[in-house]
Amino acid sequence: MKIILASASPRRRELLEKLKIPFEVKVSGCSEDMETDDPAELVKELSRRKAAAVAESLRAAAEHGSGGEKTLILGADTIVVSEGTVLGKPVDEEDAFRMIRGYSGRTHEVLTGVTLIDAADGRTKTICARTAVTVAELEDDEIRAYVATGEPMDKAGAYGIQGLFEPYVDSIEGEYSNVVGLPLAALRKAIKEFEA
């Protein structure tokens, strides 16, 4: 079995390597614009779009045979939901500061939608993993010092739990890897369904 990861995220690549399944990266380039009041449906739909765009581009190759090797296309999308608001990547340092200040002393949720598509027959499975993250009470100067590192700027919700933000996390409920960008336990179970 081989996986094609429809994502440019270096964090997802690092996580996927832990499953010890051969994979390659093919970025979908599809639009991430979508309006919905349901955060879980948002990440599921965006993960479907990413996987489907890559599946479509590979359809002709799959029809010509792949040497019997099963190929799954993996699309994923992660968002942070705080006080009912969906938070993407910060637009600037003040936006990052505002997001992190909103977490201070509170619990927020990280949702990742994951879609797997069998390249040969189009069979599709989509899941949504949720992890609750509780952040310690933070002083404004601690937040500004973290933002100044630049780490928050390319991350949904303006922080990386696996990086310099880790000391500020009091607890999590759910998969740690989901907060990084790919819920490995849930993904492993989903992949097993395609092995039959």
**Helical (H) or strand (E) element with 26:** none
Domains for the chain: give ranges and CATH numbers: 2-195 (3.90.950.10)
The pLDDT of residue 33: 73
The pLDDT of residue 165: 97
The pLDDT of residue 28: 81
- Eight-class DSSP state of 148: H
Mean pLDDT by 10 residues, the chain (196 residues): 91 94 88 79 94 85 58 94 91 97 97 95 96 98 97 93 96 96 96 86
**72 vs 4: CA distance, rounded Å:** 6
Q: Which two tokens stand for residue 49?
A: 């779009």
Contact between residue 51 and residue 70 where contact means Cβ atoms under 8 Å apart: no
The pLDDT of residue 30: 74
The pLDDT of residue 163: 93
Pair type for strands 23-25 and 124-135: unpaired
Active site residues: 77
Q: Which residues, at least 6 apart from 40, have a Cβ–Cβ distance to it below 8 Å?
A: 111, 113, 128, 130
The pLDDT of residue 67: 53
The pLDDT of residue 70: 86
Q: Which residues, at least 6 apart from 148, have a Cβ–Cβ distance to it below 8 Å?
A: 93
Q: Please state the φ and ψ torsions of residue 4, each to the nearest 5 degrees.
A: -110, 115
**122 vs 137: CA distance, rounded Å:** 47
CA distances from 55 to 49, 63, 142, 189, 190 (A): 10, 12, 44, 21, 18
**114 vs 98: CA distance, rounded Å:** 28
Q: Taking the chain, what is the end-to-end CA distance rounded to the nearest angstrom?
A: 12
Contact between residue 74 and residue 115 where contact means Cβ atoms under 8 Å apart: yes
